[in-house]
Chains A and B, each alone.
Chain A
Amino acid sequence: MSERNLVSNLMSKNITTEPIRKGFGRGLLKAGQLDVNVVAACADLTESTQMHLFKEAFAERFVEIGVAEQNLVTVGSGLAAMGKIPFVSSYAAFSPGRNWEQIRTTICLNNQPVKIIGSHAGISVGPDGATHQMLEDIALMRVLPNMVVLAPGDSIEAEKMTIAMANDSRPNYMRLAREATPVFTTTKTPFEIGKAYVFEPGNDVTIVATGTMTYHALVAAEKLYKEGIDAEVIHVPTIKPLDVATILKSVRKSRAVVTAEEAQYTGGLGGTIAELLAEEIPVPLKRVGIIDRFGESGKPDELLKHFGLSTENIMLAAHIVHDKKLQN
C-alpha cells in the first residue's frame, strides 16, 4: 500500500471515517491564511458547509448572503471581478441546483474564478429525502465551458483540493458529502487538479470511480482478486477536464470498464467515460450510479444498497464486463 500512499488498513472495519466537508473547512481556513484575497460567502449554511472555521478567522472576508442562492453566485462573480478568490457554499441541490443560469453567464461565460461548493451531494444525505439528495450536479456543471468539476474521495483529499482550487484561475465546482465516509488517502497521497490516479494496479478490468465511490471500488478490487479478476482502480477527483491519457492507458490494457459514482450516471462520470470510450476504444462498459430516478428518505447505508451503489454492485458490474470481454 505504501506506493500509492493510501492508508494501510483499507479493508479494516475500523478504518477512520470523517465527513468530506470537514476537509473542505480546514482547507478553506488554510487557503485563507495563505492568500489574503481568498474570501467566502454562504447562503445560510455556514456551519453545515464547514465555512465557520474561515468565518471565525476572517470575519471581514466573509459574506453572509442569506437563503438566496442566485445572489450567492452572482455576488461571487462580482467579488472575483475585483481580484478576489471567492468560495461560495450552499447545498448542492440549491447551488448549483437553483442558480445554473447565473453560474453560466456571470461565472463561466464571464470566466471568473469563483469556487462553487455544493455540500450534501449524493443519495447518502439520507433522511432529508429526494429534495435534498443532489444527483444531477455533475451533469449540470460538466456541460459548462470553462468550468472545472471536482469530487474529492475523502476529507483529506478535499483539504488538498480546496487549497489547489484557490490557486486555480478557472471557475471550479466541488461536490461534498454530508455523512462520515472512510478516510482512505493520506497527506502523502498525490493530488493535482486535472489528474486521475491509479490507486490499485490491475490488468483485467478498469474501475473508474469518483468521490466516495472510490473507496468502494478499492474494496471491490480487493475482493474481485480473490474471485479471479485483477482489477485496476482509477480515482478521478477531477471529472472535468478529464485525465484522458491515464484512463485510456488503462483501458488499452484491460479492455473492460466499470464506472462508479454517487450521482446520475447520465451526464455524470459514467456519461463522461461512455463518451470517451465510444470515440476512442469501444469496449464493454457498465456504469454504477443512479439510474434516472430520484432518491428517498432512509439511512445512508440502506439507501446506497437500495439504489445499487454498494461494493457488491461494483463487483457484479466488473464480472459482467469481464465476461463480455471474454465472449467477444
Chain B
Amino acid sequence: MKKLSLEQLELKATEIREDIIRMLENAGSGHSAGPLGLADIFTALYFDILKHDPQKPNWVDRDVLILSNGHCVPVRYAAMAHAGYFERKELQTLRQFGSRLQGHPERQKLPGVEHTSGPLGCGLSQACGMALAMRMDKQTHRWVYVVLGDGELDEGNVWEAAMLASKYKLNNIIGIIDRNNIQIDGPTEVVMPLEDLKAKWEAFGWHVIEVNGNDIESVIDACAMARAVVEKPVMLIAHTIPGMGVDFMEYDFHWHGMPPNHEQAKIALNELRTLKGKIRSEHE
C-alpha cells in the first residue's frame, strides 16, 4: 500500500472519526469515547505501520493486529473500510441483524478480523500464542500488534500474559495501551488505580515507551523504535483523549458506552468537518 503523507494521514483520521459518529448514530448503541480517542492510532496502524493487504486478508506474511478491548471495534471497522477491506457503505450496518460488523468483533464474520474479542483481558494472551507460533515457524519478519484498553488492565489475565511474554522474550509483540483514563464507572484512578503504570510494566519485564496517542507521527515513530527492541516485548503507553475531536465528548466518562443521538451527531460531524486536520492544534 502506498504510504500517505502526515497531512493525508491526519485527514484520514478525521474521516474515520466522521464515520464512527455516523455508524454509532445509525446503530443507536455502542461506544463513542474509546473509538474516537483511538482514531489516530488506528490510522497510523492501517495506513503506515502494519504490513497487510486488504485484498488478501489472510496473506501469510501479514502482521497481526489484535483489538483486545473489542468494544472499540467501530474504529477498526472504519479504518478497515478506508483501507479497502470492504466498502464504506457497509459501515452503516454496524450492530444490525445479519451484518458482518458485529457489536463486538468476530473472526468468522469478517475477513481481516483475526480474533473474536469483547470480554476483556484476553488479547495479550492470544498475542502471546500467535507470537510463540511465529517464533516456532521462524517467521522473524512478522509482528503482532495488540491494542488494550486501560480499564481492561484490571483483568488478571492481562498480567498472566505479561509474565509469559517477558519469560519467552517475545519481542515480536508490540502492545499499545489506550491510556485515556476512563472506564465505565468513572476515572480509572478512582475505579481501580493503575499508576504507576509504566513502572508496573517495567517490573513485569517489558520495555515501555510513553507516547501521545493522538499524534500520528509520534505513534509511527514509537512503533519503529519498538520494532528495534530485542530481548523484550514492548508496551506503548499511548496517552489519548477519550472522545477526541468532539468537544462535548472529550474527557467525559459518560460517553464510554453511549452513542450520539441525531442532534448530537450533527454537532459532532460539524465540529469534525470544520476542524479537519487541525483538531489536535485546538488542544495543545
Contacts and interface: CB of A to CB of B under 8 A. Distances in A.
A30 interface: no
Contacts of A77: 115, 122, 125-126, 129
A74 B119 contact: no
Dominant secondary structure at the A interface: helix
B81 interface: no
A102 B129 CA distance: 14
Given A66-B164, A106-B116, A110-B116, A78 B125 contact: yes
B107 interface: yes
Given A81-B130, A84-B136, A106-B116, A75 B164 contact: yes
A75 B126 contact: yes
Contacts of B64: 81
A80 B126 CA distance: 9
B239 to A, nearest CB: 27
Given A65-B164, A66-B163, A106-B122, A78 B157 contact: no
B115 A61 contact: no
A74 B136 contact: no
B114 interface: yes
B228 to A, nearest CB: 24
A326 interface: no
A110 B137 contact: no
B115 A110 contact: yes
Interface in B113-167: 114-119, 121-122, 125-134, 136-137, 156-157, 160-161, 163-164, 167
A71 B164 contact: yes
A13 B181 CA distance: 67
Nearest to A106: B122
A11 B189 CA distance: 67
Interface in A246-296: none
A61 B187 CA distance: 42
B126 A63 contact: no
B108 interface: yes
Contacts of A86: 129
Given A74-B161, A82-B130, A105 B122 contact: yes
| Interface range for A | 20 to 34
Contacts of A109: 106, 116
Contacts of B134: 82
B122 A102 contact: yes
B108 to A, nearest CB: 6
Given A78-B127, A109-B106, A71 B136 contact: no
B132 A79 contact: yes
Contacts of B136: 39, 60-61, 84
Nearest to B121: A70
Interface residues of B, number: 32
A80 B115 CA distance: 11
Dominant secondary structure at the B interface: helix
Contacts of A84: 129, 133, 136
A78 B133 contact: yes
Nearest to B133: A82
Nearest to B137: A82
A45 interface: no
Contact of A71 (B114, B118, B137, B161): B161
A81 B114 contact: yes
A102 B122 CA distance: 7
A106 B126 contact: yes
A101 interface: yes
Nearest to B135: A60
A76 interface: yes
A81 B122 CA distance: 14
B156 A76 contact: no
Contacts of B119: 101-102, 105
A190 interface: no
22 contacts: A66-B163, A66-B164, A68-B160, A70-B156, A71-B157, A71-B164, A74-B122, A74-B125, A74-B126, A74-B129, A75-B128, A75-B129, A75-B132, A77-B125, A81-B64, A81-B107, A81-B133, A102-B119, A102-B125, A106-B116, A109-B116, A110-B106
Interface of B: 64, 106-108, 114-119, 121-122, 125-134, 136-137, 156-157, 160-161, 163-164, 167-168
A-B CB proximity, top 4 nearest: A78-B129, A74-B125, A82-B133, A71-B160
Given A78-B126, A78-B128, 5 more contacts: A63-B164, A77-B129, A81-B64, A106-B117, A110-B108
